[in-house]
Amino acid sequence: MTADAPFDIATGDWRPKRDRARLIQSIIRFICGAFAAVSVLTTLGIISTLVFQAFEFLQEVPLSQFLTDTQWTPLFASKQFGIFVLVSATVMITLISILVALPLGLLAAICLSEYASPNVRRILKPILEILAGVPTVVYGYFALLTVTPFLQTFVPGLQGFNALSAGLVLGVMITPFVASLSEDALYSVPRSLKDGAYALGATKRETVTSVILPAALSGIVASLILAVSRAVGETMIVTLAAGANPTLGFNPLVPVMTMTAYIVQVTSGDAPYGTIEYKTIFAVGMTLFVMTFALNTFSFWFVRRFRQKYD
């Protein structure tokens, strides 16, 4: 008699109980597989919609023009479709946000993991993560009505809508992503590595910079790339604070238009369904999807390539 076929005392036979167990396992396996398939099918549906509509757009606009044109004016009488105008604004605001989130998030993670006591850590970490729960529209109005007027007092030439304030506030918004995930990566470094560094005479700072940070590098990079993906796809902050001026360049003091801000503008009713203007949102969305997919792919590769394994 095997372990997976217990003896049924009531009937004197082990087979009915074994069959019931197998039936229950099959039902559970089917339910779990169905729920897993929902996410896969949803992703495939989104991708197929983007690909189909973007292909229709590229039938009317050559790919070379889409990638090399220096202006983006699909809603004007003289239509031009240079996606790099929107990409440059998106990249500029994302870089500004990372310059804010990386030091703040990483230093907060080091403080929580290595310097704060357990009681302080239990208090500070939930407070830090509250920032991730603030609606992005609140961040957008905060950037427009508070940060921009404050920056205008000492930044000459800063306009009412600008990429600088949007990037700064976006960096504050994604700081919890960097801090929380980096803190988990730092906290998971084995205690034996820290004790070995202390036994060799290293100070707390030397242990953190020379032992703990390199050991947790893959987790820190993964958290950073996740934050970058979140920043690239942010909508409300850049729509409210950065403006709606599709300008090519990397001047953070003037209004710009990101890819998500353009999608919001078109979907608000400015373009009739089925027109070339309407199809541009799918071309922009496909470009945004490719960017985030590339970031996530790099994150997976980097984590697998540089992950530290400890026995």
What's the chain look like in SS3? CCCCCCCCCCCCCCHHHHHHHHHHHHHHHHHHHHHHHHHHHHHHHHHHHHHHHHHHHHHHCCHHHHHHCCCECCCCCCCCECHHHHHHHHHHHHHHHHHHHHHHHHHHHHHHHHHCCHHHHHHHHHHHHHHHHCCHHHHHHHHHHHHHHHHHCCCCCCCCCCHHHHHHHHHHHHHHHHHHHHHHHHHCCCHHHHHHHHHCCCCHHHHHHHHHHHHCHHHHHHHHHHHHHHHHCCCHHHHHHCCCCCCCCCCCCCCCCCHHHHHHHHHHHHCCCCCHHHHHHHHHHHHHHHHHHHHHHHHHHHHHHHCCCCC
DSSP 8-state code for residue 111: I
Q: What is the pLDDT of residues 156-170, one digit of tens each?
A: 888 888 999 999 999
pLDDT mean across residues, the chain: 83
Q: Tell whether the model's pLDDT for residue 12 goes beyond 60.
A: no
By residue count, the chain amounts to 311
Q: What pLDDT sits at residue 1?
A: 47
Terminal Cα-to-Cα distance of the chain (whole angstroms): 37
Q: Which pLDDT band, with edges at 50, 70 and 90, does 80 fall under?
A: confident
For the chain, how are helix, strand and coil distributed in percent, rounded to 5? 75, 0, 25
pLDDT confidence bin for 58, thresholds 50/70/90: confident
**pLDDT attached to residue 310:** 55
Count of Cβ atoms closer than 10 Å to residue 274 Cβ: 9
Q: For the segment 141-158, what is each residue's pLDDT rounded down to a tens digit? A: 999 999 999 998 888 888
- Tell me how far apart the alpha carbons of residues 132 and 263 are, in angstroms, rounded to a whole number: 23
Residue 306: band (very low, low, confident or very high) from pLDDT cuts 50, 70, 90 = low
Cβ neighbors of 213 (< 8 A, separation 6 or more) are 110, 186, 220
Helix (H, G, I), strand (E, B) or coil at 72: strand
Q: Per-residue pLDDT for 8 more than 60? A: no
Compare 163 and 8 and report the one with higher pLDDT: 163
- Position 169 scores a pLDDT of 93
Nearest 5 degrees, angle CA 54-CA 59-CA 63?
A: 75
Buried/exposed 173-208: b ≥16 CB within 10 Å, e otherwise: bbbbbbbbbbbebbeebeeebbeebeeeebeeeebb
**CA separation (Å) from 4 to 18, 52, 131?**
7, 50, 50
Task: Give the Cα separation of 173 and 97 in Å (integer).
Answer: 9
Higher-pLDDT residue of 270, 198? 198
Average pLDDT for 47-62: 85
- Output the pLDDT for position 269: 67
